[in-house]
A = this chain, B = another copy of it.
Amino acid sequence: MNCEIIAIGSELLTPFRQDTNSLYITERLNELGVTIAFKTIVGDRRKDLANAIYVAMGRSDIVITMGGLGPTEDDLTREAWADALGIKLKRDGDLVGQLYARAAQRRWQLTANNLKQADLLDGAQVLENPRGTASGQWLDTVVNGFRKLGVLLPGPPNEIKPMFDEQCIPRLREVLPKRFIATRTLKAAMIGESAADARIAPIYSRFTDVETTILAHIGDIQLTLICGKPILELAEARVNELASLIEEELDDVIYSSSSVKGESLEQIVLYYLEMRGATLSVAESCTGGLLSQRLTSISGSSRSFLGGAVVYSNELKTEFAGVPEELIEEHGAVSREVAVSLAEGIRRRCHSTYGVGVTGIAGPGGGTEEKPVGLVYIAISDGIQTDVVEKNFAGDRERIRFYASQQALDMVRRKLM
């Protein structure tokens, strides 16, 4: 069975917004073995909306609309479905009651417009929405002799996700042929997409029953392995077999391989630190807080990450990380020596197990022939030994800074391995 997702809202047709809700729905549907054949984005015009629904119901087995179920004049999804299928809307007594009860509880005044949220497509079931006033609808119908499912979801992501998971997925499971999907995600740091692909393509191309997707981010790649079989164990065996072979080939660049979703590099680093009872502090120059920010974005990071200093100016390198002024004068702020001194100094000052120092030129200005934009030194110290690397990262300021933070995290990971 295939599915078409229709995202509704004139704002989604501007240069400023994008539909992202469909990505979540797509992931959940793929897990059920349903692929997406089309996505359509349409504005709030009733005629366009009805046309999009009509076209979709003609060519796809499952049609999901997202949005346009609110109480305003722009919310025309119910009406458009009725137009497209030539069926009637009926005001549902239970829903009217719920709207009144909810309004009374919150001391709202109900308007005539509010009540249209109680209008149901003839034959549709209600999908309850405990998080908002816009109920969803589930329509199991026949178009031109073919069974079709129509699903009306609201627009806000926090309403869509639970409604889809709790009320649509169980209904879909009843309709769809029994099929079990196994998924594995492998993640690797500081290896390019094409370099990784060149090494693993000969492996995954032998597994024609496993769908392998490579997704690349800055200094990070994610491999998703998906296999569907009538028996779950069979599907799991296949993805695990492929995952093992890929792990063997890519070896120590892989930082996450065991879970379905895959952990982030930050999570892995914090997990290793906690496992070892170790702590970390960082002194950041060119990354300017990005490395700390990434680590502290993880809940519970305070157990292993103590903090550190953003030492943008030379004075602060001395003040917070004890880098000797003469060292900066002699070698420059962007140098191997200063990176080492930052790592060692911040470690001492924070009394942490490990200290990391980052200094470089993120650009676009500030580069010289000798020290070009993209040159970054990253050091890690454990109090006995300090490792330092020199890197030349390509790209713009954002990219160079992210690369540097990624490299730093990966060095901590390797130190802990």
Contacts and interface: CB of A to CB of B under 8 A. Distances in A.
A166 to B, nearest CB: 19
Do most interface residues of chain A lie in helix, strand or loop, or is the interface mixed? Answer: mixed
A192 interface: no
A293 B302 contact: no
Contacts of A363: 299
A2 to B, nearest CB: 9
Contacts of A52: 38
A385 interface: no
Interface stretch (A199-207, A228-236, A284-292): A284-292
Interface in A2-35: 11-18, 20, 23-24, 26-27, 30, 35
Contacts of A398: 297
A40 interface: yes
A99 interface: no
Quickly give the copy total for this chain.
2
Interface string A287-316: 111111111110111100111111111011
Contacts of A42: 37-39
Contact of A295 (B30, B288, B306): B288
A349 B399 CA distance: 31
A365 interface: yes
A305 B309 CA distance: 13
A137 interface: no
A312 B305 contact: yes
Interface string A142-184: 0000000000000000000000000000000000000000000
Contacts of A351: 315
Given A15-B24, A38-B40, A308 B307 contact: no
B312 A310 contact: no
A320 interface: yes
B13 A36 contact: yes
Contacts of A287: 293, 296
A307 B297 contact: no
A311 B319 contact: no
A297 B320 CA distance: 21
B37 A13 contact: yes
A308 B401 CA distance: 18
Given A288-B295, A365-B300, A40 B40 contact: yes
Given A288-B296, A288-B297, A312-B305, A349 B319 contact: yes
7 tightest A-B CB contacts, nearest first: A288-B296, A289-B292, A289-B289, A15-B27, A289-B293, A307-B312, A39-B41
